[in-house]
Amino acid sequence: MTHTDEHPLPFWRKYVFSTDHKVIGIQYAVTGLSFLLFGFGLMMLMRWQLAYPGQPLPFIGHLFHEKAMVMGIMLPEFYNQLGAMHGTIMVFLGVVPLAVGGFGNYLVPLQIGAPDMAFPKLNMMSYWVYFLGGVTMFASFFLPEGAAQSGWTSYSPLANIATTGQTVWLVGMIFLITSSLLGSVNFIVTIVQLRADGLSFFRFPFFVWAQFVTSFLLLLAFPPLEAAGVLQLMDRLAHTSFFMPSGLVVAGKVLEVSGGGNPLLWQHLFWFLAHPEVYVLILPAMGIVTEILACNTRKPIYGYKAMVYSVIFIGFMSFIVWAHHMFLTSMGTKMSAFFQITTMIISIPSVVILTALALSLWGGSIRFNTPTLFAIAFLPMFGIGGLTGLPLGLVASDIHLHDTYYVIGHFHYVVAPGTIFALFAGIYHWFPKVTGRKMSEFLGKLHFWPSLIFTNGVFMPMFLLGLAGVSRRLYDPIQYAHAQPTQPLNVFISICAWCLGLSQIPFILNFFGSLLWGKKVDKNPWEATTLEWAAPSPPPHGNFEHLPEVYRGPYEYSVPGQRHDFWPQHMKEEN
Amino acid sequence: MEKYYGWGLPIDISTHGPEIDRLIYVIHIFMALLFIGWFSFLVLALFKFRARPGHRATYKLDHFKTPTYLEVGIALFEALLLVGFSFPLVHKVRNVFPDESQALQVRVVAEQFAWNVHYPGGDGIFGKTDIHKITPANSVGLDEKDPNAHDDIVTINQLHIPVNRPVITRLSSKDVIHSFGIPVMRIKQDVIPGQVIPVWFEAKKTGNFEIACAQLCGLGHYRMRGFFTVETEEEFTKWFVSQPPFVALPLPPVDQSIVPSPPQGEREG
């Protein structure tokens, strides 16, 4: 069923309101990357206040509205807006849309040999609902009282009594959640129904498995947050009290609410999503790294089946660890024992996957191109992120480390040099497929090495801040005596963060430059085995010239007795 | 003055703290060993199996035994951390409260952005409170009609405790979620509106320290700083009797040598 349209579509149907999974994937990826840059920009502003509290921001400080900065000096309300929106944007508008919407949309149909997603119009709708959510979030900065400022976790009652920005945040979240739900249904149906002939589940590239499990996580974890979002919206607009207990006194005045609600209900609903969400962030990244390492070590992945079982196990377990975010909320010791045990158990499959990937290098013939460098760096960086989860997963040590910079260091190691490095690896790896041109290796390495050094410079000192007991989300870190000795570290972190910003310039140049001047490539520049490399670069509408059939597993590299060191999945005869 | 704070863990002056610190150290040594071992393997593999002329990848290697041992080892060690360290310690900190007749009892009422510290006064009984009676001068809303309230002492951001005596603190919040953290005591507890949450601790060293809010509670979160003073019994008594009671007493004078003793019954607002 290779069909190309007889009559060409008008521009806006082809590139704007397109139903082609590749165009939608690119739309997701470009929007997601733009939000990543924007979210990072917010953080770079915050880092000025953290390094030099109360000092005017040079050069650009006076450009801000007086409700954000007075004479270039940041106000606490603006700092809290930046904090809340940095988290929201990076997670919900940056990483997930890029990893799932971008990579998932573009690659899954290609890797399973399908001409498109199962529901192309639903796919288009999920992008545009996401886009509306993004516009809503972005626009909330221009409200009279600014954007949401109760943290990306939006704990009630603080969020209930917050300014209008919170209402807009909730509306934005409802758009984003709806978009993810539509997308996840589409992925599940596509993966189950549209597989090429011969593509059994254990012949899936690991990336497809990762997206498959991720889709279930999105489908099952997001509805509770959507419900919670609606309830908080009702609390704010219709004066219900789902999350508001009786007898509150705010700023000396008794609060007129019906009461009887419970603030912990919000936390349970929020973390019931937000813990699986962590795996939504990390599983596609593991998938990308697996693809790139298999291809660039020129050998099969070690322990592929163990990895698949692990990823399924992670999927199940991720639904029963959420309350480890709430160890300090007066939880009973029996309950906390349960969540400590599940938290320790979920670390095991992650270790299995990480170990399998590291062992996959053994016996390979490793090509150190840019995608491989980013993919290899993912391993120790994610490793640090995982290991530092250990003291946070045990209540006894969490008492001291909870809500300190240790937590920030921990999850940023997982997401920033972890997931985002994997996403960069993926961009360098599949750019030739998407555009038909390679990205520059020189600029790629100029992007990789400084990024690696400076991300570690940003996040490693945070563990020291956390051990010293410095709370997170402090507008001015030196108000507390116990935070003053570590203030030089804050200066160091900020300088590294700005240098990390500068290190992204080679990537931006490379991205746009390679679109125009990159070296042209054919179908399979990396000599890879999976199905997307059987399609032309870039793939036309309908993807394949002939729908492929699959004869073997995904990573048949360096098979003895073969002439070439790769044996594509769709190739019937010897290669 | 002794150095309390630096780049590592702050000074530890609590009786339960050394065990928390030991756990933190044990985990970090374990993490470091695991990471160094694993990272060395990574570097070795990257060097040994770099692409170069004449080198070819091996299709399938024999099954490694090491990862299985490693996985099992890690699982066992995690089980040990849970059963040997975390469970007993959490049980001790959260479930085994000191004898109320021995302990100092105090209420801490958090609000944006201050810690109201409420002592029961010489009679050892907390007076009734009512949210409708809260004014700037009566920050916890004590009821002046309740005789038990008359000798109560309320301070703002000043928590004084005697050294070497357990303290039971009942935490509540007027408005939003705060988190009552004392870094040097290795104590941190979220303060949830609508709940009264008891925590206990015992200091074994005197000094002036800090209470820090650890949960984002609004614009002033960064300056929600309380002062935490650990004194000898004599100094504490001296400070205690110097504090003005809630109502200047027309009642029979309280024996000022009595340091707050256990409450017979306490009431929450």
CB of B25 within 8 Å of a chain A CB? The answer is no
Which residue shows structure tokens 């009973």?
Answer: A332
Contacts of B20 in chain A (CB under 8 A): 396-397, 399-400
Please say whether the beta carbons of A177 and A229 come within 8 A: yes
Q: Where would I find the H helices in B95-152?
A: none
Distance CA A413, CA A354 (A): 15
The nearest alpha carbon in chain B to A345 belongs to B75
The three-state secondary structure class of A3 is coil
pLDDT tens string A106-153:
999 999 999 999 999 999 999 999 999 999 999 999 999 999 999 999
- B1 confidence band (pLDDT: 50, 70, 90): very low
Complex confidence, ipTM: 0.93
- A430 confidence band (pLDDT: 50, 70, 90): very high
Give the residue from A100, A85, A93 showing the smallest Cα distance to A32.
A93
For chain A, positions 219-248, list CB contacts with chain B under 8 A.
Answer: 245-248
Please say whether the beta carbons of A422 and A102 come within 8 A: no
Looking at residue A355, its amino acid is T
CB of B37 within 8 Å of a chain A CB? The answer is no
pLDDT tens string A37-81:
999 999 999 999 999 999 999 999 999 999 999 999 999 999 999
Contacts of B19 in chain A (CB under 8 A): 396
Distance CA A209, CA A307 (A): 10
Distance CA A382, CA A220 (A): 25
Q: How much of chain A exceeds pLDDT 90, in percent? A: 93
- The mean pLDDT of chain A is 95
Contact between A403 and B134 using a beta-carbon 8 Å cutoff: no
Looking at residue B112, its amino acid is Q
Q: How much of chain B exceeds pLDDT 70, in percent? A: 90
Residue among A344, A403, A469 minimizing CB distance to B82: A344
Residue B254, min C-alpha distance to chain A (Å): 31
Contact between B24 and A302 using a beta-carbon 8 Å cutoff: no
pLDDT at A6: 55
Q: Please, which residues have CB within 8 angstroms of residue B151's CB and are 6 or more apart in sequence?
A: B121, B122, B123, B245, B246, B249, B254
Cα B81 from chain centroid?
Answer: 21
Cis previous bond, B245, omega within 30: no
Instruction: Output the six-digit token pair for B151.
Output: 């000798």
Residue B54, min C-alpha distance to chain A (Å): 10
CB of A403 within 8 Å of a chain B CB? The answer is yes
pLDDT at A10: 86
For chain A, positions 536-565, list CB contacts with chain B under 8 A.
Answer: 557-560, 565
Using the Cα atoms of residue A336, residue A341, residue A344 and residue A346 in order, give the sign of their dihedral: negative
* Exposure on the CB side of residue A126, measured as CA atoms within 13 A: 28
Contacts of A303 in chain B (CB under 8 A): 67
Q: Is A71 exposed, middle or buried (0-12, 13-18, 19+ CB in 10 A)?
A: exposed
pLDDT tens string B158-212:
999 999 999 999 999 999 999 999 999 999 999 999 999 999 999 999 999 999 9
Distance CA A557, CA A533 (A): 14
CB of B223 within 8 Å of a chain A CB? The answer is yes
pLDDT at B264: 46
Please say whether the beta carbons of A510 and A439 come within 8 A: yes
Instruction: Output the six-digit token pair for B80.
Output: 């040990």
**Which string of DSSP letters, residue by residue, matches B28-61?**
HHHHHHHHHHHHHHHHHHHHHTB--TT----S-P
> In the predicted model, is pLDDT for residue A9 greater than 70?
yes
Mean pLDDT within A184-199: 96
Q: How many degrees, rounded to 5, is the angle at CA A314 between CA A312 and CA A316?
A: 75
Kind plus residue range of the DSSP H or E element containing A283? helix A263-297
Mean pLDDT within A362-366: 93
Contacts of A475 in chain B (CB under 8 A): 219, 221-222
Distance CA B176, CA B198 (A): 18
For chain B, positions 138-197, list CB contacts with chain A under 8 A.
Answer: 141, 174-177, 179, 181, 183-184, 186-190, 192-195, 197
> In the predicted model, is pLDDT for residue A233 greater than 90?
yes
> In the predicted model, is pLDDT for residue A4 greater than 70?
no
Please say whether the beta carbons of A400 and B188 come within 8 A: yes
Mean pLDDT within A9-33: 92
pLDDT tens string A89-108:
999 999 999 999 999 999 99
**Which string of DSSP letters, residue by residue, matches A40-63?**
HHHHHHHHHHHHSTTSPPTTTGGG
Contact between A485 and B7 using a beta-carbon 8 Å cutoff: yes
Mutate to test the interface with B, among A50, A355, A392, A556 (most CBs of B within 10 A): A355
Cβ count within 10 A of residue A535: 22
- B74 confidence band (pLDDT: 50, 70, 90): confident
- A1 confidence band (pLDDT: 50, 70, 90): very low
The dihedral formed by the CA atoms of B7, B9, B13 and B18, expressed in degrees to the nearest 10 = -150
CB of B83 within 8 Å of a chain A CB? The answer is no
Residue among B51, B190, B219 minimizing CB distance to A76: B219
pLDDT at A456: 97
Residue among A250, A352, A557 minimizing CB distance to B175: A250
How many CB pairs lie under 8 A apart between chains A and B? Answer: 287
> In the predicted model, is pLDDT for residue B259 greater than 90?
no
The one-character DSSP state at A511 is: H
Please say whether the beta carbons of A485 and A461 come within 8 A: no
Distance CA A469, CA A151 (A): 20
Q: Where would I find the H helices in A112-240?
A: 120-139, 165-193, 206-237
Contacts of A395 in chain B (CB under 8 A): 86, 90
pLDDT at A259: 87
- A2 confidence band (pLDDT: 50, 70, 90): very low
- A575 confidence band (pLDDT: 50, 70, 90): low
Please say whether the beta carbons of A71 and A42 come within 8 A: no
pLDDT at A166: 97
- B248 confidence band (pLDDT: 50, 70, 90): low
For the entire predicted model, the pTM comes to 0.94
Contact between A155 and B216 using a beta-carbon 8 Å cutoff: yes
Q: Please, which residues have CB within 8 angstroms of residue A170's CB and are 6 or more apart in sequence?
A: A154, A229, A232, A233, A236
Give the total residue count for chain A: 575
* Exposure on the CB side of residue B197, measured as CA atoms within 13 A: 23
pLDDT tens string B5-54:
988 999 999 999 999 999 999 999 999 999 999 999 999 999 999 999 98
pLDDT at A249: 94
CB of A157 within 8 Å of a chain B CB? The answer is yes
pLDDT tens string A299-354:
999 999 999 999 999 999 999 999 999 999 988 999 999 999 999 999 999 999 99
For chain B, positions 101-130, list CB contacts with chain A under 8 A.
Answer: 111-112
**Which string of DSSP letters, residue by residue, matches A106-134?**
HHHHHHTT-SS-S-HHHHHHHHHHHHHHH
Distance CA A37, CA A27 (A): 16
Distance CA A353, CA A290 (A): 9
Distance CA B213, CA B219 (A): 12
Mean pLDDT within A7-24: 88
Contacts of B72 in chain A (CB under 8 A): none
Mutate to test the interface with B, among A249, A309, A369 (most CBs of B within 10 A): A249
- B63 confidence band (pLDDT: 50, 70, 90): low
pLDDT tens string A234-265:
999 999 999 999 999 998 899 988 889 999 99
